[in-house]
Structure 1
Amino acid sequence: MSAIANSDNLLYKDSDWTFDLLQRALEACEDIALNDLGLNVYRNQIEIITSEQMLDAYSSHGMPLMYRHWSFGKHFARDQNMYQKGFTGLAYEIVINSDPCIAYLMEENSMTMQTLVMAHACFGHNHFFKNNYLFRQWTDAESILTYLDFAKKYIAKCEDEFGTDEVEEILDAAHALMDQGVFRYNRPPKLSESERLEKIQARAEHERETFNDIWRTLPQQSESETESEERQTEVRNIKLPEENLLYFIEKASPALRPWQREIIRIVRNISQYFYPQKQTQVMNEGCATFTHHYIMNELHRRGQITDGAIMEFLHSHSSVVFQPDFDDQRYSGINPYALGFAMMEDIVRICTDPKEEDKDWFPAIAGSGDWRSALKDAWANFRDESFILQYLSPTVMRHFHMFALGDDAAKSYYNVDAIHDERGFRQIRDQLSRMYDLGAREPNIQVTGVDLSGDRTLHIQYASYNGRKLDKKTRDAVMTYVKRLWGYDVKLDEAEA
């Protein structure tokens, strides 16, 4: 039952928004998020943008600062064409993992939608960014905007000095290898905030001396002895095999000049920044969707939004969590919003009203009543693969009508390998979790050897996953980029993992 809404208690009365109404709604959402759900968030910064600005943000990975590259314009033109023809819609918001946490809201949104997306982005995503272990270990929310500002200016000056074509050639090659430009398991020691900013400032000073000294006709294109020795020491400390291909090329390539190494470093740092998001889409969107659903319903219960507003919200929410059946023309896989939200709602049910099977599957939380702590523990300590393996319940598998098929290429039929029984549920959960393992989606390519004192041939190896081979056309195209950055011969071997 909702509280009886009166005009004094309502956050807003119609669909039009103002900045004062946005502030009032944000404070109401914040009260529920912090004092009821107990969320822990970065400071919030909200910016209102147009649909064209939203498209522009799409094209550059949603970042407020980004260097120029032709691929961003290509993405913008494609998305704009699809949007104008009505083939696709736009997100209601984009949120940046930074401190403060930046949320872009579209000016076309109604006041109800603005309230919804603030609850979704400013508290759901924000809490997940700040607390999930992958983001805590692999990203630095406080310095990302400073670093992007440095990167944008640095690449712009490289274009001025060396020409757009030369810079674009390095960027093209580095972008082609972005997925192989991250540390997945081993990582170098993390710099403190002061050390990181000090290095950025040192590079900026070097950049100023290199590009702005009016007494030089050409910038310095070779390393100093100190810089060269420092880099060579890093190369000697790299233990093979090395999973981060861009890192190895940046440090060890005999052909790259200092400014080219810096551009490669920029690309791989940005790739590393997005690495946790690739592993937590179900959890991140599930956390944000659960949070906005709880906050909007609580606002209605308190009488702070009208019945019309809650109906508008529910219409949008049901579209977000809609999961088409496998034989529906709209089916394109499992909707991460739908699966994440369903699993988090199910955790609440298991904690407050468990079935007998839940007590066997989830003895640690079944009937505990403390669903807030259970959710916050899951949001902090799991990624998609492990979250599904730990928390996917028979109830959710029944709701999604999940089953498992065995596909043998030598046979003309499928086998139904898992049905709705104890063994089948556990097999389905195991197989679904493995679908969210990045190893199943991205090729495992590592540097296995190099002859720096001889012919300088670089040896890399692809470890196939479940017998999957690299696509020949794509492989040959990417190898061209590897050779461009390395400067000498590169040999690729394929082996079974």
Structure 2
Amino acid sequence: MSHQVKSKDTLLFSDHDWDFDMLSRIYGAVEKIAVDEMGLDTYRNQIEVITAEQMLDAYAATGMPLLYKHWSFGKQFLRNETLYRKGWQGLAYEIVINSDPCIVYIMEENSATMQAIVLAHAAFGHNHFFKNNYVFQQWTDASAILDYLAFAKAYISSCEERYGLEAVERLIDAAHALQHNGVHRYPGKHSLDLVAEQRREIERREHAERLYNDLWRTLPKPRARGGRDLNEERRRALLGLPEENILYFLEKTAPRLAPWQREILRIVRQIAQYFYPQRQTKVMNEGCATFTHHRIMTRLHEKGQISDGAFLEFLQSHTNVVMQPEFDDRRYGGINPYALGFAMMQDIERIANEPTAEDRSLFPNFAGKENAYDVLRDAWANYRDESFILQFLSPEVIRKQRLFRLVDDPVEEDLVVAAIHDEDGYREVRRSLARQFDVARQDPDIQVVDVDLKGDRRLLLRHHVVDGVTLEAGDAARVLQHLANLWGYGVRLVEEDDQRTYTTLEAEPAQAFA
């Protein structure tokens, strides 16, 4: 604890209460450290003070400032409200939006200390990460997302008035069921253009009509006996197969969807795509924000701008955020991304400033270079969780976090500890942990592989099974039903790996969208 004398003239605040003038002073002090000392580069900040009920509403709309209406958002609101009112669930102190300006929602119930923490965490930590990380730069347009959300809300509202609430609701239900299979995982194949959506709508309709005429309005000719389908390559090229983005495939080629229905599918998948970078960078994003707020609050205390009491309040909150429950703790829910991310950011700083011989051998590029902020900013800009862990996870963090690798082989009776933090095991632990944060391995690899145009127009999908993990049968059947309804014909999903076929699931349209 610092023994520096702090007068009321130097303190940003002296009690829990705050007003907007005080909030402005806190923001200025936080900004000075973030920009001048840490070299952070952020979008403009737009600070919004909201109530608990407004925070619950933001929860329901996935944190977005405006979104189209759907019953699932209301259901989520009621669930969170009930848990909050009964004291079974707390609320986030803030929500931050990847937009330009960057919108930061802060709770009016927060104390002055907590407002300083969330401004440092969200308005500068998350904000810097959103603006500079390459995944967000490739996949999101922060300057256009708010305009696109306004367009999406107005468009769906107009569809409800024209085609009826029930028809729109059924379509969004089906789209939501498939939204995690509605993202492009590789940049460059399909670029996002959020600003031009309204202008391009007519062009997309005209292009789609030409494509549908070619694909669907001519009866297929029977294949000659013993001959090869001469149009197969052209057909697959027109359909763009194989295709992992199922919503994109349906939007472009489903034979029975109307133009307005295709546009709604596009809206749902564009919003799903917007969140895809956040799924790839959970450890890094939260680690960056947590490291930033820890450094800024520490510097405010060292400079005499917050009291010892405020600093203790901060430490208590920070400790709760980065706590990692043990595996046998009732609160255990896997690896806490805040804890792992913060530990790795601190470790990078340690290696840059005070490396050990082990650090110098493993991280020669930056060990002992005394440029920790440069190294951190480079990492925040050029990695995602999987590659960040592979590059920067050190034996020191593995030891402190008590990490090791378990192998649960169904053939064997016992669990096997396959790797610990020794010289050989360290690399295996690092590789295994990185794979756990690889979104490509977390999400099932399901692709549209063919359409039986010569027969019943059945849509064929393949799930490439990894490590023997198949789909949950009940959920798969329900989602497949939504897919069949959107496609308008039967669908078949085959689960297989390189050695065997696990199962085949089929569904027929119960109520096609016509």
TM-score range, shorter chain: over 0.9
- Size of the alignment, in residue pairs? 476
Matches for 1:141-152 after TM superposition, within 5 Å: 141-152=142-153
Match of 1:228 among 190, 203, 209: 209
- 1:328 partner SS: coil
1:4 positional shift: 3.0
Change beyond 3 A, Cα 1:314–1:225: closer
Amino acid of the structure 2 residue aligned with 1:442 = D
Amino acid of the structure 2 residue aligned with 1:229 = R
Matches for 1:413-432 after TM superposition, within 5 Å: 413-432=414-433
Change beyond 3 A, Cα 1:226–1:185: closer
How far does the alpha carbon of each residue in 1:311-362 deviate from its partner, in whole angstroms, 9 at most, with x for none?
A: 1111100010011111111111111100000000000000000111111111
How far does the alpha carbon of each residue in 1:363-406 deviate from its partner, in whole angstroms, 9 at most, with x for none?
A: 11111110001101111111111111111111111111111112
Contact 1:398 1:420 in 2 (8 A): yes
> Structure 2: how far apart are the matches of 1:72 and 1:268?
17
Match of 2:481 in 1: 480
1:238 positional shift: 5.2
Contact 2:208 2:252 in 1 (8 A): no
User: 72-81 or 252-261, which moves further after superposition?
Assistant: 72-81
User: 331-340 or 79-88, which moves further after superposition?
Assistant: 79-88
- 1:48 partner SS: strand
Match of 2:138 in 1: 137
Match of 1:318 in 2: 319
Contact 1:130 1:136 in 2 (8 A): yes
1:233 positional shift: 8.9
Structure 2 length as normaliser, TM-score?
0.89
Change beyond 3 A, Cα 1:78–1:268: same
Match of 2:240 in 1: 239
- 2:96 partner SS: strand
Amino acid of the structure 2 residue aligned with 1:106 = M
Amino acid of the structure 1 residue aligned with 2:366 = I
Amino acid of the structure 1 residue aligned with 2:197 = K
> Structure 2: how far apart are the matches of 1:172 and 1:198?
26
> Structure 1: how far apart are the matches of 2:8 and 2:459?
71
Change beyond 3 A, Cα 1:297–1:233: farther
> Structure 2: how far apart are the matches of 1:406 and 1:111?
47
Matches for 1:343-358 after TM superposition, within 5 Å: 343-358=344-359
Amino acid of the structure 1 residue aligned with 2:425 = G
Match of 2:384 in 1: 383
Match of 2:227 in 1: none
Match of 1:102 in 2: 103
Match of 1:199 in 2: 197
Change beyond 3 A, Cα 1:429–1:227: closer
> Structure 2: how far apart are the matches of 1:238 and 1:370?
51
How far does the alpha carbon of each residue in 1:189-216 deviate from its partner, in whole angstroms, 9 at most, with x for none?
A: 5366xxx43432464xx7xxxxxxxxxx
User: 315-324 or 443-452, which moves further after superposition?
Assistant: 443-452
> Structure 2: how far apart are the matches of 1:224 and 1:21?
53
1:268 positional shift: 0.2
> Structure 1: how far apart are the matches of 2:404 and 2:237?
50
> Structure 2: how far apart are the matches of 1:462 and 1:395?
39
Matches for 1:439-478 after TM superposition, within 5 Å: 439-452=440-453, 455-478=456-479
Match of 2:505 in 1: none
1:3 positional shift: 4.5
How far does the alpha carbon of each residue in 1:100-138 deviate from its partner, in whole angstroms, 9 at most, with x for none?
A: 000000000001100100000000000000011100000
> Looking at both structures, which has the greater relative contact order when contacts are Cα pairs under 8 Å and sequence separation is at least 6?
1
Amino acid of the structure 1 residue aligned with 2:325 = P
Change beyond 3 A, Cα 1:247–1:232: farther
Contact 1:439 1:465 in 2 (8 A): no
Matches for 1:173-188 after TM superposition, within 5 Å: 173-185=174-186, 187-188=188-189
Amino acid of the structure 2 residue aligned with 1:51 = A
How far does the alpha carbon of each residue in 1:157-199 deviate from its partner, in whole angstroms, 9 at most, with x for none?
A: 111111111111110110000110000025445366xxx4343
Contact 2:283 2:385 in 1 (8 A): yes
Amino acid of the structure 2 residue aligned with 1:228 = E
Amino acid of the structure 2 residue aligned with 1:183 = H
1:452 positional shift: 4.7
> Structure 2: how far apart are the matches of 1:375 and 1:2?
30
- 1:197 partner SS: coil
Matches for 1:55-74 after TM superposition, within 5 Å: 55-74=56-75
Q: Is 1:334 matched up with 2:315?
A: no
Contact 1:434 1:440 in 2 (8 A): yes
> Structure 2: how far apart are the matches of 1:79 and 1:73?
10
- 2:195 partner SS: helix
> Structure 1: how far apart are the matches of 2:192 and 2:214?
18
Matches for 1:113-124 after TM superposition, within 5 Å: 113-124=114-125
Contact 2:139 2:192 in 1 (8 A): no
How far does the alpha carbon of each residue in 1:423-459 deviate from its partner, in whole angstroms, 9 at most, with x for none?
A: 1111111111111112332111111112457532211
Matches for 1:150-161 after TM superposition, within 5 Å: 150-161=151-162
How far does the alpha carbon of each residue in 1:271-301 deviate from its partner, in whole angstroms, 9 at most, with x for none?
A: 0000010111110000000000000111111
Amino acid of the structure 1 residue aligned with 2:210 = E
Match of 2:508 in 1: none
1:471 positional shift: 1.4
- 2:351 partner SS: helix
Identity of aligned residues (%): 55
- 1:445 partner SS: strand
Match of 2:36 in 1: 35
> Structure 2: how far apart are the matches of 1:442 and 1:238?
23
Contact 1:46 1:104 in 2 (8 A): yes
> Structure 2: how far apart are the matches of 1:198 and 1:336?
36
> Structure 2: how far apart are the matches of 1:409 and 1:23?
59
Change beyond 3 A, Cα 1:64–1:253: same
Matches for 1:18-29 after TM superposition, within 5 Å: 18-29=19-30
- 2:244 partner SS: coil
